[in-house]
């Protein structure tokens, strides 16, 4: 199975990469593509067939893959990346929020929603039971 995006797509849609980033992106592309395939299987869909049916859907999938890969490339591998941080002086206070607690690849719920891979849940509670 082919990847949903290429290195060239990442360069065109995001930015030029360093050789180290290109190596990481090359390794990430099949992982991200397979992760999206598994997410589609969870909701009973075949993402490969959906990509073949519609060029517009194929472009949306490509965009999501580039977003996931670029976010993963921006995640620091040498120290913990912080999204926000505050410090105090005499009160000896420090607070910070990490970008990816636990690290690793993650797919946002909004990205799954863009692909139509969010399963809607519904249910009814019958307070009175059956007669």
pLDDT of residue 76: 63
| Contact residues for 79 (Cβ-Cβ < 8 A; gap 6+) | none
State residue 81's pLDDT score.
63
pLDDT reported for residue 48: 97
- pTM (two decimals): 0.76
CA distances from 25 to 11, 20, 76, 86, 117 (A): 10, 9, 14, 32, 24
Residues 41-71 have pLDDT tens digits of 999 999 999 999 999 999 999 999 999 999 9
pLDDT at site 50: 96
* pLDDT tens profile 23-43: 999 999 999 999 999 999 999
Q: What gap in Å lies between CA 35 and CA 41, rounded to an integer?
A: 10
**DSSP 8-state class, residue 123:** -
pLDDT band at 8 (very low <50, low <70, confident <90, very high): very high
Nearest by Cα to 107 from 117, 122, 97, 120 = 117
128 vs 67, more confident: 67
What is the C-alpha radius of gyration for the chain, rounded to an integer number of angstroms?
A: 20
Instruction: Report pLDDT for 115.
Output: 95
- Give pLDDT, residue 85: 80
């Amino acid at each position: 199975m082919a990847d949903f995006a290429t290195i060239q797509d990442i360069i065109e849609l995001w930015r030029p990469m360093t050789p180290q980033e290109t190596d990481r992106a090359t390794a990430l592309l099949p992982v991200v593509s397979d992760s999206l395939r598994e997410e589609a299987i969870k909701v009973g869909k075949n993402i490969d067939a959906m990509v073949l049916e519609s060029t517009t859907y194929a472009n949306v999938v490509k965009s999501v893959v580039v977003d996931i890969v670029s976010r993963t490339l921006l995640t620091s591998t040498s120290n913990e990346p912080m999204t926000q941080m505050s410090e105090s002086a005499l009160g000896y206070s420090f607070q910070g929020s990490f970008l990816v607690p636990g690290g690793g690849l993650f797919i946002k719920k909004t990205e799954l929603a863009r692909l139509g891979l969010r399963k809607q849940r519904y249910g009814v509670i019958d307070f009175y039971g059956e007669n």
